[in-house]
Structure 1
Amino acid sequence: MFAIVEIAGLQYKVEQDQKLFVNRLAGEKGAKVSFDKVLMTVNGAVTVGAPAVSGITVEVEILDHVQADKVIIFKKKRRKGYAKKNGHRQQLTQIQIVSITGFDGEKKAKPAKKASKKEETSAE
């Protein structure tokens, strides 16, 4: 069982008890966060949302806030005396998928249709 969920603008394939790094999320270490923008689920059968699957939520726990490795950006134009060096460290949040809930109610019974006028008159 897995799901494709949108977290902080990016799409991730998640399974229960999986740990992953995502862009910095608001919240304290140890806090629980839920995401309801689930784009696709696979639980025996594939369910694709348009754009999201309703009723499915992904519960995650924030493990830590960290920084990624430094990325060096170096720009140079030859023979022009132009050289620029810059660095960047992305702010990340390490999360753990606690549960993917809502599968039990995915095939809800539709409300009964109202009887048409023809059926009502024939019944009388």
Structure 2
Amino acid sequence: MIYAIVNIKDKQFKIVENQYIYVPHISEKVGEEILLNQVFLFYKEGKLFLGDPFLEKINIIIEIMQHIKGKKIFVFKKKRRKGYKVKNGFRPLFSKIKIISFLEK
């Protein structure tokens, strides 16, 4: 099994080849392939490689499959005894990506 821990939009994700994951919205078009170079950890055939902070010799190719909205998040503000109540909400944007391959230099 081959997997890696990468940084995508300042969040860390564990990725495996040919897997789909949802990440914060990436502003590229659907169908485009992107090269990720911020890899913290890489595991292959029983060997573990750690970066300090990143591994320079490992790159990952991902493809953007679609852009979607998540479930609604409600924001409710209230001040007691003042009659002040405000209810707002939003739907965060996500991108569904597929991990194509790991590139080792």
Q: TM-score, normalised by structure 1?
A: 0.79
| Superposition pairs of residues 55-94 of structure 1, within 5 angstroms | 55-94=57-96
Structure 2 match to 1:18: 19
- Runs of 4 or more, structure 1, over 4 Å off, are none
Alpha-carbon distance in structure 2 between the residues aligned to 1:60 and 1:17: 9
| Superposition pairs of residues 77-116 of structure 1, within 5 angstroms | 77-102=79-104, 105=105
Alpha-carbon distance in structure 1 between the residues aligned to 2:74 and 2:82: 21
Structure 2 match to 1:113: none
Cα displacement (A) at 1:65: 0.8
Q: What amino acid is the match of 2:103?
A: T
Structure 2 match to 1:119: none
Where structure 2 has 5 or more consecutive residues not aligned to the other structure, the ranges are none
- Structure with greater Cα Rg: 1
The structure with the largest strand share of the pair is: 2
Highest RCO, 1 vs 2 (Cα 8 Å, sep ≥ 6): 2
Alpha-carbon distance in structure 2 between the residues aligned to 1:24 and 1:34: 16
| Superposition pairs of residues 28-39 of structure 1, within 5 angstroms | 28-39=29-40
Where structure 1 has 5 or more consecutive residues not aligned to the other structure, the ranges are 106-124
Corresponding pairs, count? 103
Percent sequence identity is: 33
User: Which segment is superposed worse, 75-84 or 57-66?
Assistant: 75-84
Q: TM-score, normalised by structure 2?
A: 0.93
Cα displacement (A) at 1:38: 0.3
